[in-house]
Amino acid sequence: MSALSTSARTAPELDLPLTLRVLTINAHKGFGFLNRGFVLHELREAVRASGADLVFLQEVLGAHASHARRYADWPSQPQYEFLADSMWPQFAYGRNAVYPQGDHGNALLSKYPIARHDNIDVSVGRHERRGLLHCALTLPGIDLGLHAICVHLGLREHQRRAQIGRLIDYVATRVPLEEPLIVAGDFNDWRGRIGEELAQIGLREVFAVRRKAPARTFPARFPLLPLDRIYVRGLQIEDAAVLDSRPWSHLSDHAPLLSQVRL
């Protein structure tokens, strides 16, 4: 596993601080709520309309042979490339699960250059393959790195405890304190037990700051459980919204989160 590094020098004075719109969504492999239809084309239009600068994707397919044969409108390129097409010039993919028909994992779509990326295997046991996709970005006119980590944690409590430990250790050793950090994705933390641990390394959850509690995102039509999160360090939180109305409510089993942050 290679270390990521970017410049650690202080950002120069700016007339207007840089604002970033951050979107995270569990893409559900391109299928809608309760697997009712292949909706990747609609999802691409909705993601584009969000105006996001950074898009954190979980459960995005790199390939799936049987789906490609079954659906006439299945894209010829990987799903993350299809979603990024003509909107986000930079993307990175971290393959987590591999099976006879294909593979899936986490991805980041970015308006800004991705200098380096690394996929860290945090799987616990054989049956749920999970990873942390870490991207080091460069921002225009700013001599300062931005780090983005896309997360998809396990369904079981003991898995999440081990995976959060790995995430904390990784951030502590691989992400300089002076460089801003965004950690977003599907944490599966419906019991709300990880916030205090992540606060120890300076991460703040955008909804906990703006609205006193993480947002409910699952199931998408009637959100009850707070599974998805956006955590930041070294960034000002300006706004946060749950995208739980149409078209989003039928494009996945998770409602996306959108946050605006500022350097």
pTM: 0.92
Compute the distance between CA of residue 9 and CA of residue 163 in angstroms, rounded to an integer.
30
CA distance 2 to 132: 13
Which of 7-11, 228-232, 233-237 shows the lowest per-residue confidence on average (mean pLDDT)? Answer: 7-11
Pairing of strands 19-26, 54-64: parallel
Reading across the β-sheet that carries 228-233, which strands appear in turn? 114-121, 131-138, 145-152, 181-186, 228-233, 204-205
pLDDT of 42-72, one tens digit each?
A: 999 999 999 999 999 999 999 999 999 999 9
Locate 103 and state its tokens.
Answer: 């593979």
Q: How far is Cα of residue 178 from the mean position of the Cα atoms in its chain?
A: 22
Percentage of the chain lying above the pLDDT 90 cut: 87
